[in-house]
Amino acid sequence: MDEDFSFLQPLDIITKDVNQLRQMIKEKRKNIQKDKDKDKNKDKDKNKDREVDREHEAERARVREKERHEKEEREKEREKAESNKEPEKQPEELADGDMVMDQEDKDAIGHEENGTSIGPEPMDIATTSTQASQEACEIPGSDVTILEGHTSEVCACAWSPTGSLLASG
């Protein structure tokens, strides 16, 4: 009850009757309660906003992580594709007529110069090591087309991406 007097001014206590003072106290209590409720609602709204912000930030972090993971996967696939390509010199990298040769080709040339031929024939060379895949890589003579036009040895050739053109040099 002593608290109720804190809502009143000394002049009000002297000049107003008891019913008016009670009414003033009730109104001030209601106003204070409304203010407290507003503050609680503001706090709840702030907490909800913070929670929504955290959820949005977590979603953005998941998206960034997913994009980073996809980028890493693309990098790995690109590196894997590059590593699967044969490391050959490009024609512009060849120095003064140097030819690209594998060790097998060098051995075969050495044996041919000596009059002996050891090793596979050029059309029988396979890129994998298993016997079954070597048989699958053999090309029948009926499917071979001889292309003419070069006056010297051909060091490199490549198919166009569409597969309809062959470049050689």
pLDDT digits (tens, 9 = 90+) for 88-99: 545 555 454 555
CB 118 within 8 A of CB 104: no
Closest to 125 measured CA to CA, from 135, 115, 111: 135
> How many whole angstroms separate alpha carbon 107 and alpha carbon 111?
6
Closest to 91 measured CA to CA, from 166, 159, 155, 167: 155
> How many whole angstroms separate alpha carbon 126 and alpha carbon 134?
5
pLDDT digits (tens, 9 = 90+) for 148-160: 888 888 888 888 8
Which residues on adjacent β-strands are paired with residue 159? 166
In the chain, alpha helices (H): 2-5, 10-15, 18-84, 103-113, 131-137
Closest to 122 measured CA to CA, from 146, 98, 86, 150: 146
pLDDT digits (tens, 9 = 90+) for 104-124: 555 555 555 555 555 555 555
Question: Mapping DSSP to helix (H, G, I), strand (E, B) and coil, where does residue 48 land?
Answer: helix
Measured CA to CA in angstroms, residue 49 lies from 16, 40, 134 at distances of: 47, 14, 66
Confidence (pLDDT) at 87: 56
Tokens 């512009």 sit on residue: 92
DSSP conformation class of 88: P
> How many whole angstroms separate alpha carbon 43 and alpha carbon 37?
10
Alpha-carbon torsion (3, 8, 9, 12), positive or negative:
negative
Domain boundaries, the chain: 2-76
Quote the pTM value. Answer: 0.30
